[in-house]
């Protein structure tokens, strides 16, 4: 049960492999924006920031709707509803990790630049042209909406790595989180 909305944001549990069918599901388009979608967006932003992520898709918090949030270091979060890649160009080699695939990172190829269209949280049409990390984050999050994970793009097993646990003498062992 959930308390009545009082305007505060909440950190949501993040769905992780291996036992989360929602991560492999194709998310549904949002047909209109209402209080529950606004609330979801607020909670996704809070959850992404708390986890130090640069992006989060609704599928990752168990909601199969086409909503993503991305936030570049030092910038404001960007919300995209029903995002679609309308153009991509070039190629970049990136090292990627995912909050839903804890304990690993991998080297994959992404587009160097993408143009994405969608709606913002005021249901206004927007179009974003991005390159570098922002392009990578947009592709990664839009993949989530189609049930795809970055590990699907890893070309060989030697390009997927386990995050080693970090041992700090005074603090003990820190388990990798993402």
Q: Which residues are catalytic?
A: 141
DSSP letters of 120-176? -TTS-EEEEEEEHHHHHHHHHHHHHHTT--GGGG--SGGGEEEPPPEEETTTEEE--
CB of 88 to Zn ion, least distance (A): 18
- Which CB, 33 or 163, lies closer to Zn ion? 163
Cβ-based nearer residue to Zn ion, 98 or 114: 98
Of 98 and 145, nearer to Zn ion (C-beta) is 98
CA–CA dist 131, 111 (Å, integer): 8
Total of residues contacting Zn ion (CB under 5 A): 1
**Which 44-103 residues touch Zn ion, going by CB under 5 A?**
98
Write down the least CB distance from residue 142 to Zn ion, Å.
11
Residue/partner pairs of 70-77 with CB below 8 Å, 24 or more apart: 70/134, 70/137, 70/138, 70/141, 71/45, 72/133, 72/134, 72/137, 77/45, 77/48, 77/49
Structure tokens that stand for 115 in this block: 């143009």
Please give the backbone phi and psi of residue 35, each rounded to the nearest 5 degrees, phi first: -55, -35
Nearer to Zn ion, 92 or 178 (CB): 178
Find tokens 């922002």 and name the residue: 134
Q: Using CB under 5 A as the criterion, what x/- string covers residues 105-144 for binding Zn ion?
A: ----------------------------------------
Closest separation in Å from C-beta 23 to Zn ion: 9
Residues that bind Zn ion (CB under 5 A): 98
């Amino acid at each position: 049960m959930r308390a009545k909305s009082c305007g505060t944001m909440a950190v949501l549990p993040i769905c992780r492999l291996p036992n989360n069918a929602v991560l492999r599901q194709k998310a549904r388009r949002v047909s209109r924006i209402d209080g529950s979608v606004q609330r979801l967006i607020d909670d996704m932003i809070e959850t992404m920031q708390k986890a130090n992520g640069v992006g989060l898709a609704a599928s990752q918090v168990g909601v199969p709707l086409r909503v993503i949030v991305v936030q570049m270091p030092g910038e404001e979060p960007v919300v995209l509803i029903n995002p679609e890649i309308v153009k991509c160009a070039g190629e970049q080699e990136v090292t990627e990790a995912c909050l839903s695939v804890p304990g690993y990172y991998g080297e994959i190829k992404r587009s160097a630049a993408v143009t994405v269209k969608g709606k913002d949280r005021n249901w206004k049409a927007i179009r974003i042209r991005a390159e570098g990390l922002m392009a990578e984050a947009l592709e990664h999050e839009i993949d989530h909406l189609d049930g795809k994970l970055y590990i699907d793009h890893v070309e060989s097993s030697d390009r997927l790595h386990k995050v080693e646990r970090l041992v700090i003498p005074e603090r003990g062992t820190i388990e990798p989180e993402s």
